[in-house]
Amino acid sequence: MLASYIKIQCKLFISLFFQVTVVVTITYNYHRMSQPCATPKCERISRGLCDCCKQTLCLQHLNEHNASLISQLNPLTDEINALGDRLKSFNIHQTVSDGRQKLDKWRKDCHEKIDRFFEEKCQELDRFVVDKLDRQRTEILHIQSKMAKLTREQEATRHDIDLLTSTIRQLEKAIDKIKETNIQINAHSLVIHGSLVQIRETNEHELDLSTLFPVYRTLDGAVGSSVVLASNEQLLLIHQKPNLCLVDQELKIVKQVLWTHDVIRDMCWSWTLDRFIVVDNNNNIFLVDERTMSIETIEINDKRKWSACACWETSLFLSTDVWGSSLLKLTLSPTIAVIKEWQSPITCSKDEVITGMSYTSKTCALMIKNKVDKSVRIELRSSETLNRIWSLPLDIVVNQNVLFRCCLTKGNEWLVIDRETKRLLHITKDGQLKTTLPYNEIPYRATMFTSNMLAVSTTTGINLHKV
């Protein structure tokens, strides 16, 4: 009985609840519909609520409001159609032309490396046989000399005849063996993996030195080492007295060779020669092979003292270490030779010296120091004509014996190394000071090691930063 009673009461409660809800809803809708239209000066009763602007509007203004929204679709339709037409006429070849040129240059460089390697191995193969032949020729000359002596002195004995006969038979067999030599060539297939060429979008302003990460890795320098460095993007060339060393991205020495020449003034990498170029304090220019670490002298019949060097494509640039510096342009292929020289006042005034430079496509950045007003500036010049594009004076306290250097960074921007006040100055491609970053040690040189690592040389060694 109790259960039946409770069940009846629940049904009555639910029925009453729905009746109250309906009354409230009707009342709410009535009051909402009885509100005036939200449009100014309209005295009509609202007939609906606009969901997008949450306004109650009369039927006329609700229709007008809807028509207004629909009309705004028309220009948007025109814009999206125009964008579609732009995509249809998009010239993909024009957009990727610069990238294709770089890929084509990479392909040619690789082919040249393979051709050079092929020639080296052909020469090695020739030497393999020539060395054997030379040994036999030496033995033949020795026998011919002995026989000539015996003939001249008329003192041949049976023992001499037997010994000569035996030796000649042995030589005959040795030469036959050389002719029948079976040379084994073990040639491994060339492995090309996708990481050899990386394609990604670049942001010209992605390098922000205000967020330069702390030192990632450090390589302690040996006492008396040069602070000069250069990179081919895979390896870093440095001087660790008494050796010239190649280090990898972990700053581990992978190759080294004894450096017996004078103090190193500057160094750079040549993609054309596939070699590092090193300039010393004794007017010498050297080629350093990254594979063999062989050191070869470049002869250009010019013994002036050089202050800086830089490479771009098939050209090498050298600046003279004198007031009123000259700038020389050398071709690197097919032979190395001076093809142009710019002199003061085109390069700088007679009271100025070029202390550093860095090249990129069509332009070069020059660091110029003035001994009269003790100022220093960075200038961007045309790499073909040396015409000035822009010039930026720097707030650097100049010491007469200090060489100021710069390096290329991402987006064709520049990094000036200020060793006097321990700073790195980030310069935009249009010649504006972007960032000034204090450095906790005295920086001497800097270079982009890889696309995301900056190498800085200091008095204590080499620092790597992720950027």
CATH assignment of the domain containing 403: 2.120.10.30
How many structural domains is the chain composed of? 3
Q: Residue 237 has what pLDDT?
A: 96
Top pLDDT among 96 and 363 is at 363
Among 14-18, 245-249, 278-282, 362-366, the range scoring the smallest mean pLDDT is: 14-18
Choosing from 116, 132, 148, the residue where a domain stops is 132
Q: For residues 312 and 424, state if they share a domain.
A: yes
Give the pLDDT band of residue 202 (cuts 50, 70, 90). low
Q: Residue 101 has what pLDDT?
A: 82
Q: Residue 322 has what pLDDT?
A: 94
- Report whether 270 contacts 298 (CB < 8 A): no
Q: For residues 110 and 242, state if they share a domain.
A: no
Q: For residues 223 and 115, state if they share a domain.
A: no
Give the pLDDT band of residue 3 (cuts 50, 70, 90). very low
The label of the residue with tokens 């015996």 reads 150
Q: Whole-angstrom distance between the N-terminal and C-terminal Cα of the chain?
A: 83
Average pLDDT of the residues in 420-432: 91
Top pLDDT among 113 and 287 is at 287
Give the pLDDT band of residue 34 (cuts 50, 70, 90). low
* Cα(356)–Cα(19) distance, integer angstroms: 91
Average pLDDT of the residues in 428-454: 89
Q: For residues 110 and 249, state if they share a domain.
A: no
| Residue 450 covered by a domain | yes
Average pLDDT of the residues in 265-271: 93
| Residue 440 covered by a domain | yes
DSSP H helical ranges for 2-91: 2-33, 59-71, 73-88
The pTM (predicted TM-score) of the whole model is: 0.63
* Cα(379)–Cα(402) distance, integer angstroms: 18
Q: Which distant-in-sequence residues (6+ apart) come within 8 Å of 164 by Cβ?
A: 143, 146, 147
Top pLDDT among 113 and 373 is at 373
| pLDDT one-digit tens code per residue, 46-88 | 877 877 777 888 888 888 888 888 888 888 888 888 888 888 8
Q: For residues 127 and 61, state if they share a domain.
A: no
Q: For residues 340 and 392, state if they share a domain.
A: yes
- Full residue range of the structural domain in which residue 214 is found: 209-466
- DSSP letter at 263 equals -
Read off the tokens for 66: 């809807």
* Cα(147)–Cα(158) distance, integer angstroms: 13
